[in-house]
Amino acid sequence: MEQFVCVRIVQANAMDLAQFQFDYDLTFAVFLMNADGTVYGRYGSRSDQKDAQRDISLASFAKAMEGALDLHKGYPANKALFAAKNGPVPTVTRPEQYPTLAKYKPTLDYDGQVVQSCMHCHQIRDAERQAFRTAKKIMPDQVLYPWPMPDAVGMKLDPNEKATVAAVTPGSAADKAGIKAGDAIQSINGQPILSIADVQWVLHNTGDTGVLNVMIARPNDRRAPTANAIQLNAGWRKASDISWRTTTWDLRRMGLGGMFPGDLGDEERAKAKLDTKQMAFLLKHVGEYGEHARAKQAGFVKGDIIIAWDGMTQRMTETQLLAYVVQKKKPGDKIAATVLRGGKKVELVLTLP
């Protein structure tokens, strides 16, 4: 750590979004970079609402830092390796350029309302999505499914290693490419990989289809790293789970009127005499204020079980339900739903905010 100059940023106010591109749902994100702005790598990942440290550890953080120092030794002769680490300049380069964030000042009000004056990182993603919603444009998969976990292509990485595959899903894109558990990822599409966040960065910036050229080193194999091509087919991002994300809260406002649904497990379904293949969303929460109260105003209550939604009755995940409403429906659209309440069916209609 003493070999780094450490700078801590505690607010998103006036953040340079061209330089600091990362997963805005994180509570901890690190840029391993040169003083001239060149990014060697990123660190920080998350895939669970409660267990924030499931995908990271001090051990892998230390290994990522060591990897960054090794890359720094070759700088600037190796500068070309990091060209894609900064990414394209976004349309919005400062958060306050979004209409919903225009009220925030560049600095915090430390002498007064410090909490209210602080822009949270997740608000940037909320504002980006709201811009599409306000314009009544289809929300692109890259915006709806940001920073996909390696699981989306069939790889589970070891949270205690730099970028090492712990498991591969049979039949997945990674499996078909020949990736195996124990493989150490050296680079993807020419970019040096220091952590799971670096893998996510490449995935986030990959199109709806494409090929990931993954260089891996195999344990106990003295040969040079080998290339493996992971083919990404249309819709690959949809394997991502976004239900844990803080930014999903605003998606629930947009598409569900403030409801927080959870898919009933098989055991609970059996108790409720519901088939394992049919829709069964238990409403864990129904908002009470502002546009988050739209479902409450329509008659939905906590404890209801949604068994039909806009004509659909098949089993779905919350991610799939959210994707349907924000990509297929517009503000003002009406959605008919059937819920079970006390064992009886109740027909309701929700008007989307």
Four-CA torsion 101, 107, 108, 110, nearest 10 degrees? -160
Report the alpha-carbon distance of residue 59 to residue 57 in Å, rounded. Answer: 5
Give the pLDDT of residue 225. 81
Domain segments of the chain as ranges: 150-239, 248-351
Give the pLDDT of residue 172. 97
Confidence label for 226 from pLDDT (cuts 50, 70 and 90): confident
Q: Residue 335: which H helix or E strand, with range?
A: strand 334-341
Using only C-alpha atoms, the chain has a radius of gyration, in whole angstroms, of 22
Give the pLDDT of residue 220. 79
What's the CATH fold of domain 248-351?
A: Pdz3 Domain (2.30.42)
User: Mean of the pLDDT values across residues 239-246?
Assistant: 96
- Which residues are bridge partners to 263 per DSSP? 281
State whether residue 174 is helix, strand or coil: helix
Confidence label for 227 from pLDDT (cuts 50, 70 and 90): confident
Cis status, amide bond into 159, omega within 30 of 0:
no
pLDDT tens digits, 12-32: 999 999 999 999 999 999 999
Report the alpha-carbon distance of residue 86 to residue 88 in Å, rounded. Answer: 7
Report the alpha-carbon distance of residue 26 to residue 146 in Å, rounded. Answer: 12
Q: Residue 256: which H helix or E strand, with range?
A: helix 248-256
State whether residue 59 is helix, strand or coil: helix
pLDDT at 222 over 90: no
Number of neighbouring beta carbons within 10 Å of residue 267: 8
User: Mean of the pLDDT values across residues 300-306?
Assistant: 98
Helices 318-328 and 248-256 pack at an angle, to 10 degrees, of: 60
Cβ–Cβ under 8 Å, residues 12 and 100: no
Confidence label for 85 from pLDDT (cuts 50, 70 and 90): very high
pTM for the complete prediction? 0.94
pLDDT tens digits, 182-221: 999 999 999 999 999 999 999 999 999 999 999 999 987 7
pLDDT at 57 over 90: yes
State whether CATH 2.30.42.10 applies to domain 150-239.
yes
pLDDT at 235 over 90: yes
Report the alpha-carbon distance of residue 23 to residue 133 in Å, rounded. Answer: 21
Q: Residue 166: which H helix or E strand, with range?
A: strand 165-168
* DSSP characters over 94-148: SGGGSGGGTT--SS--TTS-HHHHPPPTHHHHHHHHHHHHHTTPPPPHHHHS-S-
Give the pLDDT of residue 83. 96
User: Mean of the pLDDT values across residues 238-262?
Assistant: 97
User: Mean of the pLDDT values across residues 165-177?
Assistant: 97
**Contacts with 93 (C-beta within 8 Å, 6 or more apart), sequence order:** 16, 17, 18
pLDDT at 345 over 90: yes
Confidence label for 122 from pLDDT (cuts 50, 70 and 90): very high
Give the pLDDT of residue 185. 97
pLDDT at 223 over 80: no
Confidence label for 272 from pLDDT (cuts 50, 70 and 90): confident
Report the alpha-carbon distance of residue 159 to residue 54 in Å, rounded. Answer: 7
Give the pLDDT of residue 221. 77
Report the alpha-carbon distance of residue 314 to residue 276 in Å, rounded. Answer: 9
Report the alpha-carbon distance of residue 130 to residue 251 in Å, rounded. Answer: 9
Give the pLDDT of residue 160. 97
Tokens of 326: 């924000």
Report the alpha-carbon distance of residue 248 to residue 319 in Å, rounded. Answer: 9
Share of the chain residues as helix, strand and coil, in percent rounded to the nearest 5: 30, 20, 50
